């Protein structure tokens, strides 16, 4: 039977470690602080950001939730970020994406001070990551490495294949794996004969944003599969494609009218040596690593 990598348990352990670090910093008169910026009224984003703020409270971090109107301009947002950059009690700045169309997202993310860029999106942090130097790494890719390490899955010398080349997950995940001495191949939607490459993977990271994209014939038996995708299914035909005959999923679908599937077809997990489920795999690590990054930013800024 494949081993299920429990992201919930790993995230809980990281949060416990963060809480201990926060207590140690408090003894030195330091309380890490996170500012979360949520523009407009997007219900899904509101739930997610409030969860981050609540986690800060649970672990002893200071946090602020800033909610500009959906009509806010790029200039107003740049002024807001400049103010947060200047505040010493704010160690991390989180700008929840997506932003309204009138806001220049790239200009805004570039305006965040690299030392407070707890999402790891700033070009300076991306460059430091590529150079193998200390940096604030994007939370989801950093979480992937934590899952592998804490599950005692070897990375060094293994062939890791990353399917997806986004700046948020695919590219930084590849860099982090390379920094751990994996041999890394990056694939994407234009890769020819994709299955021939993914079948070589000892560690297969699926982050392409397509429901069930990685099928069983694309997986090497015994591989470790890290499924980053979160895709909501609402159509019965799609449900049957992925979960026909699964009574637990059937009950969820009947109750909620939807269920989640990753970028890996559930049947592909049967071939794996270990895998992250959806939900309960990579997802919980994102908030845990945000908390860890905020504490790290607080320590780096103060030379601790």
Question: What digits encode the pLDDT tens for the residues 273-289?
Answer: 999 999 999 999 999 99
Beta strand 3-4 with 274-275 is parallel
Of the residues 96, 117, 202, 263, which is catalytic?
96
Q: Residue 243 above 90 pLDDT? A: yes
What pLDDT score was predicted for residue 41? 84
What pLDDT score was predicted for residue 304? 87
Q: What is the pTM of this model?
A: 0.94
Predicted confidence (pLDDT) per residue in 76-133, tens digit: 999 999 999 999 999 999 999 999 999 999 999 999 999 999 999 999 999 999 998 9
Q: Which domains does the chain have, with CATH numbers?
A: 25-115 (3.40.50.10860), 139-282 (3.40.50.720)
What pLDDT score was predicted for residue 132? 87
Classify 53 as helix, strand or coil. Answer: helix
The CA-atom distances, in angstroms, between 30 and each of 25, 61, 253, 290, 297 are 5, 10, 46, 18, 12
Catalytic residue flag (residue 119): yes
For residue 280, list its beta bridge partners.
none
Q: Residue 46 above 90 pLDDT? A: no
Catalytic residue flag (residue 171): no
Of the residues 15, 91, 116, 119, which is catalytic?
119
Query: Which tokens sit at 10?
Result: 């790993």
* Contact residues for 107 (Cβ-Cβ < 8 A; gap 6+): 74, 78
Of the residues 15, 52, 116, 171, which is catalytic?
52
Length of the chain: 304
- Residue 44: pLDDT band (50, 70, 90) is confident
């Amino acid at each position: 039977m494949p081993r299920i990598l429990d992201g919930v348990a790993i995230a809980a352990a990281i949060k416990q470690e963060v809480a201990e670090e926060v207590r140690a910093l408090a003894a030195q008169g330091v309380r890490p602080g996170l500012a979360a910026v949520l523009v407009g009224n997007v219900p899904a984003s509101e739930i997610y950001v409030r969860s981050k703020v609540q986690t800060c409270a649970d672990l002893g971090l200071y946090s602020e939730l800033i909610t500009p109107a959906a009509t806010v301009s790029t200039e107003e947002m740049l002024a807001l970020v400049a103010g947060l950059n200047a505040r010493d009690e704010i160690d991390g700045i989180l700008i929840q994406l997506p932003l309204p169309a009138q806001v220049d997202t790239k200009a805004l993310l570039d305006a965040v001070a690299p030392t407070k860029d707890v999402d790891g999106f700033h070009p300076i942090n991306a460059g430091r990551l590529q150079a193998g130097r200390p940096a604030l790494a994007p939370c989801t890719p950093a979480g992937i490495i934590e899952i592998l390490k804490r599950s005692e899955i070897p990375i060094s010398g293994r062939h890791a294949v990353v399917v997806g080349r986004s700046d948020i997950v695919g590219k930084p995940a590849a860099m982090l794996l390379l920094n751990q001495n994996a041999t890394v191949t990056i694939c994407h939607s234009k890769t020819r004969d994709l299955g021939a490459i993914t079948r070589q993977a000892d560690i297969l990271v699926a982050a392409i944003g397509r429901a069930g994209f990685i099928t069983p014939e694309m997986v090497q038996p015994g591989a470790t599969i890290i499924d980053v995708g979160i895709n909501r299914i609402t159509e019965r035909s799609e449900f049957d494609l992925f979960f026909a005959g699964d009574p637990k999923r059937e009950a969820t679908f009947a109750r909620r009218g939807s269920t989640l599937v990753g970028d890996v077809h559930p049947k592909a997990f049967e071939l794996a040596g270990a895998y992250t489920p959806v939900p309960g795999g990579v997802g919980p690590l994102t908030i845990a690593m945000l908390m860890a990054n905020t504490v790290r930013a607080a320590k780096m800024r103060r030379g601790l």
